Structure 1
Amino acid sequence: MAGEPSFFEIGVADPERGRAFYGALFGWNLEAGPGGDGFTIGTGGLPGGMHGGGENASPYLFFRVDDMDAAMVRVRELGGSVEDIGEGGQEDPDSVARFGRFTLCRDDQGSPFGLHQPPWA
């Protein structure tokens, strides 16, 4: 079903410090992510990820969609915006095969959220 939360992402300045903090706080299992520049987060519930380089980043909640391209069009139709995907507009095929497609958006008031099309969708 589309629309339910399907993934969360935490941006931090230093992923190793974030791993230590959130792992100790919540007992999460954080394993090296694709490309080695962050972590996948095993919570026992909603899956997540952590990336570095986000001095002022905040957590993002991603909502499941069945068709990413159609969902991005609909966000724009409703007055929202969609951020560019990946480097040069290209998604990493290995990451897509493992985790699905992701994109960050803003609603018509500027609030951030994400869209996630799981690999099985």
Structure 2
Amino acid sequence: MAGEISFFELGVGDFEAARAFYGSLFGWTFEPGPTEGGGLTIGTPNVPGGVHGGDAGASPYLFFRVDDMKAALERVHELGGTVDDFDAGSDDESVARFGRFTLCHDDQGSPFGLHEPPKNT
């Protein structure tokens, strides 16, 4: 459903330390991410997630589901928001597995993400 939280990403200094911490705290499972050195995917009971290193102290990134990334990004601009020059998961393998992700800011500068899931989900 459009607008629901469909993915989250944790930015940390060391993703292996995050694996130990969040795995112990919540019982989450972790698998290697889609690219070498690109972090880990997180298995939770509800919303899938990811963790990447080199981003110590970052706030969690929340991604909201959209059905059409291009149309959603156009709408962000129309409403006075901005779109970061970022398109995670743009290679074919990542898109097929995880979908498309884009970071944005609303018209007041608050960050959020958009996620277009793979077409088979």
- Give the TM-score taking structure 2 as reference length: 0.92
Give the distance between the partners of 2:49 and 2:81, measured in 1 at CA: 24
Q: Distance in 2 between matches of 1:29 and 1:21?
A: 11
Runs of 4+ in structure 1 deviating by more than 3 angstroms, as ranges, are: none
Secondary structure at the counterpart of residue 34 of structure 1: coil
CA distance 1:61–1:86, change in 2 (3 Å): closer
Gap runs ≥5 in structure 2? none
Count of residue pairs the alignment pairs up? 119
Structure 1 unmatched runs, 5+: none
Which structure features the higher share of helix residues? 1
The aligned residue for residue 60 of structure 1 is 61
CA distance in structure 2 between the aligned counterparts of 1:62 and 1:9, rounded to whole angstroms: 8
Q: Cα offset for 1:85?
A: 2.5
Alpha-carbon distance in structure 2 between the residues aligned to 1:55 and 1:93:
29
Asked whether the 8 Å contact 1:81–1:106 carries over to 2, the reply is yes
Residue 48 of structure 1: aligned partner: 49
2:20 pairs with 1:6: no
Shift of 1:55: 2.0
For the 8 Å contact 1:61–1:113, the answer to whether it is kept is yes
Matching residue of 2:30: 30
1:56 deviates by: 3.1
Instruction: Calculate percent identity across the aligned residue pairs.
Output: 68
Separation (CA, whole Å) in 1 of partners of 2:103 and 2:54: 16
Equivalent AA in structure 2 for residue 24 of structure 1: S
CA distance in 1, matches of 2:87, 2:5: 22
Residue 23 of structure 2 aligns to a residue whose secondary structure is: helix
Match of 2:108 in 1: 109
Q: Tell me what 1:80 maps to.
A: 81
Provide the C-alpha distance between the structure 1 equivalents of 2:101 and 2:64, rounded to a whole number of angstroms.
9
Using structure 1 for the length normalisation, give the TM-score: 0.92
Whole-Å separation in 2 of the counterparts to 1:23 and 1:107: 32
Following the alignment from structure 1 to structure 2, what is the Cα–Cα distance between the partners of residues 4 and 52?
Answer: 26
